[in-house]
Structure 1
């Protein structure tokens, strides 16, 4: 994981989901209690070194794949990566969530800007990490041959097959 995840869930998909679970539909005449107070912000001066490091890693041929957790945060981008490939991901976000002083759900669905998910060959790990020296970077897992997402937060773990993720994703299309 590249970049800093902050408690920025204001107007997020996660809060929208929580509101829908409580029976709140998009009614502009009613207050929206699940909008939240802290939307994502952008700090170009903080992000420029991060993006330059990412460009450097790409130019050096170190990246195998990359994705940005925009709408929905880390959870949806991890699922999309598994659905779009023949591979799986085994990811543990427990340590990075604790360091960010965030609960698992808030870390997973934060929509902070300036973050990237990248995969690199094990042989390229040290060179890749050197590109990001002094910048927020965390090794959180590995790519494996099983087409599934295994997501852990310390001792709590859940796994979904690529087929199950695709089915759940497709079921939500058209509901907006």
Structure 2
């Protein structure tokens, strides 16, 4: 992974007390271990989406999981769109309104490094991928990494939602 020091230890006891999107304890390590072996397993992706984000809420488990998602995704070409989408959703929730917790100090350098990795992977995949989901969420990752929250949020909208916003703005 990109700069940021040693990886977070998977055997660190703090993992077992992390909270997910429902604000209850959720240890994402079992799901992340399964994902490392079966990257395309939809049931694992569904679990991570459900547990790490809920109606705009995220927790420290969400931030820790982004670190591992970036590490696991580094070996994938292309990266599964859900990795970009979940990371972008978590980052947007972190930035949007202050209702979510800050990134814990022990996770923060790894989280920043993970975002650098995701940014590089997104640029790589944008050069060759054309499917809507990958392009949408890879663009969101690039925008969020560059500090463009509103652009990232718009990128995460569906094509129909973007078209409606443009019609409303331009009146046609």
Q: Which protein, 1 or 2, shows the higher relative CO under an 8 Å CA cutoff with sep ≥ 6? A: 1
Q: TM-score under structure 2 normalisation?
A: 0.27
Question: TM-score, normalising length from structure 1?
Answer: 0.27
Which structure: larger Rg?
1
Q: Which has the higher strand share?
A: 1
Higher helix share: 2
